[in-house]
Structure 1
């Protein structure tokens, strides 16, 4: 297994990722079509009181929505296929460490608790990221860039202000995520120990105190992760709510001064709301990517026999 998760992603799912890239390349520009149609419906059709043009633009709007949702369906289906395929590969890799005589080749997965944790939750977590690894940053990042580009073309002043709203969020997330990564690695190790102790307790019929202690440690680590994770969510939701407010105040001032049109303000409110969800998903992807790399390294090291030494028999 390559040292970095993206090397592994390309190795096991290159064909599927290329297909996802092609679908994304079509989906991204289609997503900006409704914004321009909204502006034309307000400016041209309503301004000229042209009912025929309004109906035609409405039909084009509906077609754009149907095309966008159809492409998203195909994209999600492709992601699901990649996730399940990689999950199967990882689970077979764990099982493949067993020799024909039933003994492990290098002692890396001779702990039943570790093997079960790897085959169950860890494989699915890593595979879930593989499915999103290319499509999420491509689609969400592309949507943000295309939307901001269109808004800047309409009115660069309001677009620049909207960009400033989200910029600090990235730097805060980057700082907090480093702490979450350390906690996530510690939690994964503790969960593996819990699996080992659970098997050992069933065999020995004692050792409950050690098992309960590990459960308490896992609980404490998870609560620390939750506090940091939901603080970032709180900040993201606050910025999402501030975006339309700032656009209304500043854009409304421009309208009152006669420096822009009402239709421009309508487009910006819709555009900022369209940016909010992709931005949140992009931030969540960054956090997920950091944790996935941590879990992937632990997974790889365990298969190689470097993460944990074999447990001694008591």
Structure 2
């Protein structure tokens, strides 16, 4: 457990600060340019990300709960491998533990893919909104076609750092759970810092 849980915690520490700073910097610079270019159309970009600020943390908390339960179930299963008891009874208990791990993994993947679907849906609705509002502005003479193209390109440019920040957030939450698990075990053994 120490090896399998401490390595991801240590590797996350290398990107804990640099990754969000880089990605947030890219997002802010592109968003700032778009606000200067056409403030009203920038609201469409904001409308793409505001719902994500709500559902991403909620779904990630649910993923983290399942990941913590999965880690505990795997620890229980691996600890029971060296335990004593009747062969058939142990086998049934182990089958039950691994079935729990499978169900928890399935729940994690359902939530992850649902979250990715919702994020992609928001992005595509943002493109439709930019085309709709931008088309209206072009027809009414308030902006040029190049501005609409710049906004579509800007939305695509902002989407990649947003996805990276979301992945970083997911990794941070799982790493936090792993660290808490390690700390509890080390504290129980009297070896915690």
- How many angstroms does 1:205 deviate by? 8.4
- Equivalent position of 2:38 in the other structure: 155
**Rounded Cα–Cα distance in structure 1 between residues aligned with 2:82 and 2:144:** 69
Q: 1:9 corresponds to which residue?
A: none
Which of 278, 283, 292 aligns to 2:161? It is 278
Match status 1:170 vs 2:32 = no
* Contact map agreement 1:187 1:221 (CA 8 A) in 2: yes
- Deviation (angstroms), 1:129: 2.2
Stretches of 4+ aligned residues off by more than 4 angstroms? none
Q: CA deviation at 1:124?
A: 3.0
Question: What TM-score comes out, normalization by structure 1 length?
Answer: 0.56
Find the counterpart in structure 1 of residue 3 from structure 2: 119
In structure 2, the partner of 1:197 is: 80
- Decide which structure has the larger Cα Rg and report it: 1
Deviation string 1:242-292 (CA, Å, 9 cap, x unpaired) is 222221221121111111122212211111100111112212222222221
- The structure in which a higher percent of residues are helix is 2
Task: Please give the alpha-carbon distance, in whole angstroms, between the structure 1 residues aligned to 2:61 and 2:181.
Answer: 16
Q: Which residue of 2 aligns with 1:33?
A: none
TM-score when normalising by structure 2: 0.88
Give the aligned CA root-mean-square deviation in angstroms. Answer: 2.0
Q: Is 1:230 aligned to 2:113, yes or no?
A: yes
Aligned length: 188
Instruction: Choose which of 46, 65, 70 in structure 2 pairs with 1:187.
Output: 70
Q: Which has the higher contact order (CA 8 A, sep 6+)?
A: 2
- Taking the TM superposition and a 5 Å limit, the aligned residue runs for 1:84-123 are 117-120=1-4, 122-123=5-6
Equivalences for residues 52-63 of structure 1 within 5 A: none
